[in-house]
């Protein structure tokens, strides 16, 4: 996937459009990501032995097409390129700069 855990992304579509956050989890099988502070839902949970019940707020997954990677604080499209040493790195489509170290 073009988005990885720890990336800073901006939501470009949906209810949370315009919000910025870090990727907490990536779900490649479902093409979804969980972003901090974005798409917050409320879960009504029963008390259990491990935790108390109540209304818990947490982030739900959003589709990866609804987020854009922030590179130099600007949303950018991401592509892939192979380096001379054989490594596959992510690159910004507009500028051609490598995103990965």
Residues 17-57 pLDDT 10s: 999 999 999 999 999 999 999 999 999 999 999 988 999 99
Q: Does domain 8-72 have CATH number 3.30.210.10?
A: no
Q: What are the tokens at 72?
A: 């130099």
Sequence ranges of the domains in the chain: 8-72
Alpha-carbon distance 56 to 19, whole Å? 21
Is the pTM higher than 0.75? The answer reads: yes
Average pLDDT, the chain: 94
77, 95 Cβ separation under 8 angstroms: no
SS (H, E, C) 29-55: CCCEEEECCCCEEEEEECCCCCCCCEE
């Amino acid at each position: 996937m073009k988005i990885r855990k720890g990336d800073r992304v901006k939501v470009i579509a949906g209810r949370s459009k315009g919000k910025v956050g870090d990727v907490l989890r990536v779900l490649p099988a479902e093409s979804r990501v969980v972003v901090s502070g974005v798409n917050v839902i409320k879960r009504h949970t029963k008390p259990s032995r491990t935790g108390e019940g109540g209304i818990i707020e947490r982030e739900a997954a959003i589709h990866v097409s609804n987020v854009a990677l922030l590179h130099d604080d600007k949303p950018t499209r991401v592509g892939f390129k192979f380096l001379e040493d054989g490594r596959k790195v992510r690159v910004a489509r507009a500028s051609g700069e490598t995103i990965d170290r």
